[in-house]
Amino acid sequence: MENNIKENISWHNTEISKIDRQKLLGQKSCVLWFTGLSGSGKSTISSKVDEKLHNLGVSTYLLDGDNVRHGLNKDLGFGGKDRMENIRRIGEVAKLFVDSGIVVLTAFISPYVDDREKVKNLLGENEFIEIYTKCSLKACEMRDPKGLYKKARNGEIAEFTGISSPYEVPVNPDITIDTENMSVEECSEVVINFIRKGGYVERLI
């Protein structure tokens, strides 16, 4: 059935390109992909970076893990296959945002190196910026903003990243921010300075 569907569809090229949209907005587009353990600060820091970019006149959109599971991915659980599908869908959505000329920020645990690499491969050169929110498991558990670690320790949540399911640390992230020892302001500035110096967003040059 799947093969028959693929045989009956084809890619439709449009008149307006990604470059055209970028020129209209006056910026390059890319994905700022925040990855790290639950409680490591992904949502907080990505939100601060989003705010700073907006104030600089950059068109952005923030995709947050919990928010997306209220809609697009509400049919997915937290088992291995569903986590992979969660990231696959987000990768495709992020690709659409980049094609539209928008700087998209994503805040997902995205625990597997292979899944993050697949998203990177969907995009063009310098369009995927991997940001590792480095924070020890102990510190994340002490924060435990949603009470999830406590539930995982009590056996109420199965396959919880860092407890009963692995988190694969990025091998060579573009940015590493030490959220355990740095403030939200300091972490956000590290990201802003990186994309400023790298020329990822033309408005910041």
Give residue 204's pLDDT: 47
Residue at 159 is within a domain: no
DSSP state, residue 144: -
Residue at 11 is within a domain: no
Residue at 158 is within a domain: no
Residues 135 and 36: their CA atoms lie apart, in Å, by 8
Residue at 3 is within a domain: no
Q: How many structural domains compose the chain?
A: 1
**Coil, helix or strand for 139?**
helix
Give residue 200's pLDDT: 61
Residue at 71 is within a domain: yes
Per-residue pLDDT of the chain (205 residues; tens, 9 = 90+): 555 666 766 666 777 888 899 888 888 899 999 999 999 999 999 999 999 999 988 999 999 866 767 777 777 777 778 788 888 988 999 999 999 999 999 999 999 999 999 999 999 988 999 999 999 999 999 998 888 888 889 888 888 888 888 999 999 999 999 999 999 999 999 999 998 887 666 554 4
Could you list the residue range(s) of the whole structural domain that residue 49 is in? 21-139+167-204
Please indicate if the annotation marks 147 as binding a ligand.
no
Give residue 6's pLDDT: 66
Please indicate if the annotation marks 17 as binding a ligand.
no
Give residue 86's pLDDT: 82
Cβ-in-10-Å burial (0-12, 13-18, 19+) of 36 comes to buried
Give residue 203's pLDDT: 53
Please indicate if the annotation marks 39 as binding a ligand.
yes
Q: Look up residue 51 and give its two tokens.
A: 């705010």
Catalytic residues: 110
DSSP state, residue 202: G
Residue at 97 is within a domain: yes
Residue at 154 is within a domain: no
CATH number at residue 64: 3.40.50.300
Neighbour count for residue 92 (Cβ, 10 Å): 11
Please indicate if the annotation marks 59 as binding a ligand.
no
Residue at 124 is within a domain: yes
Residues 6+ apart with CB under 8 A from 106: 31, 32, 33, 34, 46, 62, 63, 64, 90, 94
* Secondary structure tally for the chain: helices H, strands E: 9, 5
Residues 180 and 39: their CA atoms lie apart, in Å, by 10
Please indicate if the annotation marks 204 as binding a ligand.
no
